[in-house]
Each structure stands twice: as C-alpha cells, then as structure tokens.
C-alpha cells in the first residue's frame, strides 16, 4: 500500500524534521517577542502602548501567507536581507519563514498573555509596588509569572496553530512537510488519499502530545487564590 | 499649647526628628468626587494613629496617598523631612521605607510564604539570599507562622495570611507602617491573632497609621484617633476622649451606630 515510499525517493521524516525545527525556533521567538509586546501594551509609556497596539492589530489581521511572501519578496529579493551569511537558498528561506512565523504568532501570544494579566488581581501589583519594586520588577516577578500560569492552555492552542501554520513556508520553497506533500501528490497521483492521510497523521503526531502535555502542565502550575 | 510649654520648645528645636509623616493641605478628586479635602495631619515618630470614619469617607485613599499608590491633586506630603518623589527610582526607594498592609492581604499567590517575605529584601534592598532567609524566618517566627514557611498563601487561614503580610512589610525595616482595615476581611476568631501582632509592634515603638473600626485596639494601642467624614478630618483626639466624649455631631452619630451593633 505504501509502496511509493519504498523507492526511497521521498524523505518524509526529513521533511517533518524541518517542520519540527520551524516550529521550535518560531515558538521560542514568538514567546519572547509576544511577551515583549504584552509588556509594551501594559506599560505606562504611551508611545510603547501605541506601538504594541498598532503592531498587534496590523499583523494579526494580515494573512500569514502575505507576511511570508512579503518577507521573501520584500526583505530578501528587494532589500537583500538574508538574516544569514550564507547564500544557500534553503537556509535563507528557513530563516525568513521563522521570522514571519514569529512576527505573526507573537501577536496571539501577546493577546493570550494580556488576558492572563487581567486574571491577576490588582492587589498583587499594588503590594509589589508598595514594597518598592519598580515597574519592570512588578511585571517580571509578580504579574507575568501569574499571567503565564493562567494561559498555558491558550498558549498551547497558539503552539498547535503555529505547528500547522509552518506549512506556509512551502510558499517560499522551504523543504518542510507540506512542500514534500505537494510534490508527492503531483507524482503519486494514484495515491492522493493515502499521501494526504499520511501527512495529516504526521501533524497529529506532532500536535496531539503538545496539547496533552500542556493540558497537564496547565493544571499543575495553576495559581491557587 | 502655649509657646512657653516644654512640648513646643522641644518641637521648635528639632521638628524633623519629631514629625515623621506630614500632610499639608492635601486635596484629591476622583472625577467630580472631592475625596480628600484640605487634609492636614502630622504623625510623630513612634506614634500610633487610628483613622476611623464611615464607609466612603476617604480613609483608604488617605492611607494610599502616603506611599503614593494614589497621587494627590494639591498640597504636600513629606516623610522623614523629604517630600514624596514623583514616579521613578526615588519613589520606589521611599515606598520601601513605608510598609503597607492591605485588607485583602495581597500575598504573592505564586510564591511560598518564605519567598513572600524574602522578595523585597533581595530585589529592593539588595540583601543576599542567605541573610534574607534568616531574617524572613525570624520575622515569621515573631508573627507566629514559622511552621507555615514553605506553604503557599492559599493554604493558610486569613489570619495567618495577614500575619505573613505584616512580616513581609516588616522585612523592609520600614519607618512607618500603614494598615488599611487589616482585620475586616477576617473571621471573628482570627481578628485577635492579628491585633496582637499589631499591638506588639506598637509597643516596640513602630510608627503606625491604622484604618480600623476595632475600638479595643484603638483604646489600648493608639496615641490618637483621627475621625474622617466626607473627605475631611472632622475630629482628632486621644482614644479616651474620642470614644467617651466625642465633640462633633458626625462623630457622635457614627459612634452611636457602631456601638449599637
Ligand atoms: N479608584 C477610584 N476611582 C473612583 N472613585 C474611587 C476610587 N477609589 C475610591 N473611590 C471613591 O472614593 C470615596 C472614598 O473611598 P475610600 O476607599 O477612600 O473610602 P473608605 O473611607 O476607605 O471607605 P471604606 O470604609 O468603605 O473602606 C468612595 O466614595 C469611593 O467610591
Ligand atoms: Mg477603605
């Protein structure tokens, strides 16, 4: 049944490995940049708040494909920004894809975190200020740790969406799972259903444990009040 | 007070050493609501002042202006001779010198009791971890919750949480402690354990501003009672004078209400 795999001409695991790497780097970047954006949106400095708000609204409402294409055509082909010393198209494409995925998913991380910040009673921040902690200490030591614990589940959802959204990297030629699937569908047209099912299964294998693990973490770290 | 009396002579000689917290002509609005109206209040070093008054009279707001959790519209507040700084490093430093205890405890929910009492020492005072822990443990012992050090706040009773909150404030070696209705969120059987800790602090010479309706505490620990109504200080007197012989009608009316239930 899976005889199209036996030719050894398709590196399915290799393609999924690229998907995993795209997901991994983008997830870390989104978490960091999303946290910075959330901090901006609650900061007392009006300019930062405005930047955070405008960024989130513009980027969140732009289709991811458009962002990836803009990174490829705009940053790379027009401005020559490669994010790497290498002139290997594969490396350049990978980095631009990660950049785009971070830019996009950070907005969802930011909004999830902001809803988490809203679950932290004002008294927590007031008590911290009353001790003499400054704004960034109040945020990083008291408010954000509690906010993160409250939004593990929404963040898991962002991570699952991110895993699946890595497929847009195919649009700029990154050899991840979706690009291979497109190739295989073209050449193995008699096994379209099987090929699709295999890739669908691959993504479920990646996302299901993530969801379950983070569901468990969410219960463990919940703040009791 | 005549200019010839000893009291005023010593006061003139060293005013800064006597007055720790001075509010002069303080005004504050919440929108159209004039919540603090021309407040003048001086708290001496080592003095215990109880603030009392009907709900909505501005007691909490007054308390919170002293460490600038609320800003004021006009007037001046000085602490130990220094005017309250605006936002920034200076303000954070000043807040470290002013301990605050809230009605709802506000212990950091994601940190253990011990970490709650260590945090300010380490992050604000720059004390090293070992010294901070030592001090935290001895303070927890002093307020009678040493055995709870490794628990999280939600695992403690209200009375225990409030005593931890007092220890957390004391860990900063504050010059003055503010208490905003520290016992009104507590079940009756836990009120005394908190009042006893406060009583001890008062005896050891801590300067305290306490918003409370606990008359027993006011009578036994306070040097002075300040009665507020509608954003004004209506009456200031010793606890004995105030409770047995209030001068203003507002105070008489208020006392008759809290005494009759
Ligand atoms: N942040 C705020 N914004 C608007 N109005 C406020 C705010 N905080 C307090 N107020 C109003 O200011 C008035 C005084 O409030 P405050 O909390 O100081 O009273 P209080 O004397 O402490 O009362 P209570 O005994 O109920 O605690 C009240 O009418 C209250 O509704
Ligand atoms: Mg109040």
Total residues found in chain A within this entry: 225
Q: Where does A47-132 show beta strands of DSSP type E?
A: none
Confidence of residue B8 (pLDDT cuts 50, 70, 90): very low
Provide the percentage of residues in chain B whose pLDDT is more than 70: 93
Q: Is residue A177 exposed (0-12), middle (13-18) or buried (19+ Cβ within 10 Å)? A: buried
User: DSSP class of residue B148?
Assistant: G
Sort B126 into a burial class: Cβ within 10 Å, 0-12 / 13-18 / 19+: exposed
Q: Is B35 in the pocket of ligand 1 (CB under 6 A)?
A: yes
> Per residue in B14-39, pLDDT tens?
444 589 999 999 999 999 999 999 99
B252 touches chain A (CB under 8 A): no
CB contact at 8 A, B117 and B123: no
Assign B261 a pLDDT band (cuts: 50, 70, 90). low
- CA B218 to CA B51: how far, in whole Å? 9
Residue nearest (by alpha carbon) to ligand 1 atom 6: B30
Of residues B259, B229, B234, the one with CA closest to residue B248: B234
Contacts of residue A123 in chain B, CB cutoff 8 Å?
102, 104, 106
Question: What is the structure's pLDDT at A200?
Answer: 92
Pairing state of beta strands B224-229 and B232-237? antiparallel
Position A91 scores a pLDDT of 83
Which one has a higher pLDDT value, A175 or B57? B57
Cα separation, A218 vs A213, whole angstroms = 9
List CB contacts (< 8 A) between A142 and chain B.
Answer: 108
pLDDT in tens, B154-191: 999 999 999 999 999 999 999 999 999 999 999 999 99
- This prediction has a pTM of 0.88
* DSSP assignment letter at A102: H
Chain A residues with beta carbon closer than 8 angstroms to that of B99: 130
CA-nearest residue, atom 5 of ligand 1? B30
Ligand 1 centroid vs B213 CA: distance in angstroms? Answer: 16
- pLDDT exceeds cutoff 50 at B6: no
Beta bridge partners of B226: B51, B236
Query: By the CB < 8 Å criterion, does B52 face chain A?
Result: no
CB proximity under 8 Å: A 154-213 to B: none
Q: From A146, which residue of chain B is nearest by alpha-carbon distance?
A: B110
Whether the CB of B153 sits within 6 Å of ligand 1: no
Judging contacts by C-beta atoms under 8 Å, the chain A residues touching residue B63 are: none
Q: Do A129 and B69 touch (CB under 8 A)?
A: yes
Whole-angstrom distance, CA of residue A92 vs CA of residue A90: 6
Sheet holding B232-237, edge to edge: B98-101, B176-180, B207-211, B48-52, B224-229, B232-237
Query: pLDDT below 70 — which residues of chain A?
Result: 1
Distances in Å between the Cα of A145 and the Cα atoms of A21, A161, B158 are 27, 23, 23
Contacts of A150 in chain B (CB under 8 A): none
Query: What would the mean pLDDT of B1-6 be, rounded to a whole number?
Result: 39
**Higher local confidence (pLDDT), B88 or A44:** A44
Ligand 2 ion: nearby residues, β-carbon < 5 Å? B 60
Tens of pLDDT, residue by residue over B193-214, are 999 999 999 999 999 999 999 9
Instruction: Confirm or reject: Cβ of B231 under 6 Å from ligand 1.
Output: no
pLDDT at position A185, please? 87
Residue A138: the pLDDT is 96
Instruction: Give pLDDT, residue B16.
Output: 43
Q: Is there an atom of ligand 1 within 6 Å of B15 CB?
A: no
Quickly tell me which residue has 């200031």 as its tokens.
B236
Tell me the C-alpha to C-alpha distance, in Å, between residue B258 and each of B52, B60, B213.
11, 19, 8
Write down the pLDDT at residue B1.
37
Q: Is A45 on the interface with B (CB under 8 A)?
A: no
The dihedral sign for the CA sequence A132, B105, B102, B44 = negative
- Asked if the Cβ–Cβ distance from B106 to A44 is below 8 Å, we say no
Domain limits, chain A: 3-221
**B188 is written with which tokens?**
């009756």
> Residue B171, SS3?
coil
For A3-221, CATH gives 1.10.3720.10
pLDDT above 90 coverage of chain B, percent? 85
The CA B162 to ligand 1 mean position distance, Å, reads 22
B212 CB within 6 A, ligand 1: no
DSSP, residue by residue, A28-63: HHHHHHHHHHHHHHH-S-HHHHHHHHHHHHHHHTS-
């Amino acid at each position: 049944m899976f005889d199209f795999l036996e030719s050894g001409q398709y590196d399915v695991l290799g393609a999924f490995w690229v998907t995993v790497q795209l997901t991994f780097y983008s997830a870390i970047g989104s978490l960091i940049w999303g946290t910075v954006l959330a901090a901006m949106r609650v900061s007392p400095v009006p300019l930062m708040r405005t930047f955070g708000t405008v960024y989130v609204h513009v980027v969140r409402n732009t289709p991811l494909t458009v962002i990836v294409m803009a990174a490829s055509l705009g940053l790379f082909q027009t401005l020559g920004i490669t994010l790497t010393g290498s002139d290997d198209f594969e490396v350049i494409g990978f980095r631009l894809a990660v950049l785009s995925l971070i830019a996009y998913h950070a907005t969802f991380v930011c909004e999830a975190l902001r809803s988490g910040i809203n679950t932290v009673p004002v008294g927590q921040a007031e008590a911290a200020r009353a001790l003499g902690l400054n704004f960034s200490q109040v945020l990083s030591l008291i408010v954000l740790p509690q906010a993160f614990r409250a939004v593990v589940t929404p963040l898991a959802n962002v991570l699952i969406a991110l895993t699946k959204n890595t497929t847009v990297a195919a649009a700029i030629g990154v050899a991840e799972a979706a690009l291979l699937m497109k190739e295989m569908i073209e050449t193995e047209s008699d096994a379209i259903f099987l090929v699709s099912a295999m890739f669908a299964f691959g993504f479920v294998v990646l996302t299901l444990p993530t969801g379950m693990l983070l569901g468990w973490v969410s219960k463990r770290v919940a703040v009791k009040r | 007070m005549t200019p010839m009396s000893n009291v005023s002579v010593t006061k003139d000689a060293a005013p800064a050493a006597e007055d720790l917290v001075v509010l002069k002509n303080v005004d504050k609005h919440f929108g159209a609501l004039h919540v603090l109206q021309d407040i003048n209040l001086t708290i001496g070093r080592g003095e215990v002042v109880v603030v009392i008054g009907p709900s909505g009279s501005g007691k909490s707001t007054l308390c919170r202006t002293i460490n600038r959790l609320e800003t004021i519209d006009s007037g001046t507040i000085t602490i130990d001779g220094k005017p309250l700084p605006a936002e920034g490093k200076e303000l954070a430093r000043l807040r470290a010198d002013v301990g605050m205890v809230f009605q709802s405890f506000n212990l950091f929910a994601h940190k253990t009791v011990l970490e709650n009492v260590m945090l300010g020492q380490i992050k604000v005072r720059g004390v090293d971890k070992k010294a901070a822990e030592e001090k935290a443990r001895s303070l927890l012992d002093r307020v009678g919750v040493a055995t709870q050090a490794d628990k999280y706040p939600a695992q403690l009773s209200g009375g225990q949480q409030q005593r931890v909150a007092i220890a957390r404030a004391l860990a900063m070696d504050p010059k003055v402690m503010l208490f905003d209705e520290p016992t009104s969120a507590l079940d009756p059987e836990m009120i005394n354990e908190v009042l006893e800790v406060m009583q001890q602090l008062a005896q050891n010479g801590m300067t305290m501003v306490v918003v409370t309706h606990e008359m027993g505490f006011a009578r036994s620990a306070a040097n002075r009672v300040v009665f507020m109504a509608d954003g004004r200080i209506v009456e200031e007197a010793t606890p004995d004078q105030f409770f047995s012989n209030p001068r203003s009608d507002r105070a008489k009316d208020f006392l008759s209400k809290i005494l009759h239930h």
